[in-house]
Every structure is written in structure tokens, then in C-alpha cells.
Structure 1
Amino acid sequence: MNSALPVLAGIVSTAIFASSTFPMLAKALRTRDLRSYSLGNLALANVGNAVHSLYVFSLPPGPLWALHSFHLGSTVFMLVWYLRFEYLRHRENSQGSAEEELVGCPR
């Protein structure tokens, strides 16, 4: 019975953490507005998760694997979406402004 309690706590906490992240992921995908996120933070979160994976996946399979896998996936999605929706948009806008200055007329 004592060994079941930590596993149950892991399952419950995994569900809570995952459900707290879903609204952020849904809003980011729905609005494609990730201006409030930092590229540096998202990049470091992905590097940290990759390094932490060495530890997590050395442990026996359990709720921690599920939680960590969810964090891996969500941070990868957020980084990809940031690069796709913000970084490239900002870059395209910057190039468009430079072209407008060269040509002398707005698009």
C-alpha cells in the first residue's frame, strides 16, 4: 500500500501539470500570437529538458516519464511555433521594411 501512494501522487500531479499547460498550448496555436514568449527562454527550456531526459529516462518507467515526455513535447511545440509564427514573421516584416526603403514605396 505504501508504494502505491507515491505512484498515485505522481499520476495526479502529472495530470494537474499537463492540464495547466493545455490552455497555453491551445491559445498559442489558436491565436498564433507568441510575442509574450522569449526565444531565449524557449531555447533554454528545450536544452534543459534534453539534458534532464538523461536522468529521467534512466529511472524505471512511471508517471515521471509521462510528465517529462509531456514537458518535452510542449516545449518543442512552443519553440517551433515561436520560430514559425513570431521569429519568421518579424524577419519577413524587417525584410519588407528594408525593401520598401530601397524601392521608395510601401507594399
Structure 2
Amino acid sequence: MWSSMPTLAGLAATLVFALATLPMLGKAVRSRDLTSYSTGNLVLANVGNAVYSIYVFHLPLGPIWFLHGYYLLSSGLMLFWSRRFARRNASIYPQPPAEWVGRPMRSAERAP
């Protein structure tokens, strides 16, 4: 079973997909700045992964189990970190005053 061409292709794809997300996870944990990630998107990704788990884990053991397990772990970590680090980053990245929101910046207000 493990030496068939589709299984080898699945193993290769699993490694490529996992390696592709490692820089994102590394940057997220190093910078602790996940403000560019939508909480709604992270929640939906985790809900989708949880529902998809019902299907995946009823398949025979194979590369899809490892890939899906990795997706479960990485999307769960991103959601956890986004909520955990959001409290810390609130003081680092203060929100602009309400009267500034939606108005164009004058040239004196722009960063150099």
C-alpha cells in the first residue's frame, strides 16, 4: 500500500503543503502580530477542519491523515495565537480616534 504511486504523490504533496505554511507559523509566533488575519476567517477554517475531520478519519490511514492533522494543528494555533496576542497588541497598536476614521490624511499627518 505505501509503495503505490498515488500514496507517494500524497506523501510528497503533504510535505510541500506543510513546508509552505511553516514560514507563516514561524512569523506569527515570532512577531506575535496577527492583526492581518481575520478572526472570522480563522474561526471558519477551524470549524471547516473539524467537520472535514469526520470524513478524513473514516478513510484508511494514509497521507491525508497527516496533512489534515497538520492543518488542524496549524489553524488551531493561528486562532489561539490571534486571540492570545490580540490583548498584548492592543496597547502596541492603538486605534485612531473615532473622528479620524474615514477621513483622508493631510500631508502633515503622513509618516515620513
Please indicate the TM-score interval, normalised by the length of the shorter structure. Answer: 0.7 to 0.9
Indicate the RMSD between aligned Cα atoms, in angstroms. 1.8
How many percent identity over aligned positions? 57
Alpha-carbon distance in 2 for matches of 1:89, 1:31:
12
Deviation at 1:89, TM superposition (A): 3.5
Alpha-carbon distance in 2 for matches of 1:35, 1:80:
13
Alignment deviations for residues 20-79 of structure 1 (CA, whole Å, 9 cap, x no partner): 000000000000010100000000000000000000000000000000000000000000
Ranges of 4+ aligned residues in structure 1 off by more than 3 Å: none
Alpha-carbon distance in 2 for matches of 1:16, 1:4:
19
Alpha-carbon distance in 2 for matches of 1:78, 1:61:
26
Alpha-carbon distance in 2 for matches of 1:81, 1:65:
24
Q: 3-state SS of the aligned residue for 2:17?
A: helix
- In the alignment, what sits opposite 1:89? 88
- In the alignment, what sits opposite 2:17? 17
In the TM superposition, 1:3-42 aligns within 5 A as 4-42=4-42
Alpha-carbon distance in 2 for matches of 1:85, 1:40:
16
Q: 3-state SS of the aligned residue for 1:60?
A: coil
How many residue pairs match? The answer is 91
Q: 3-state SS of the aligned residue for 1:33?
A: coil
Q: Which sections of structure 2, spanning at least 5 residues, go unmatched? A: 96-112
Structure with greater proportional helix content: 1
TM-score by length of 1: 0.80
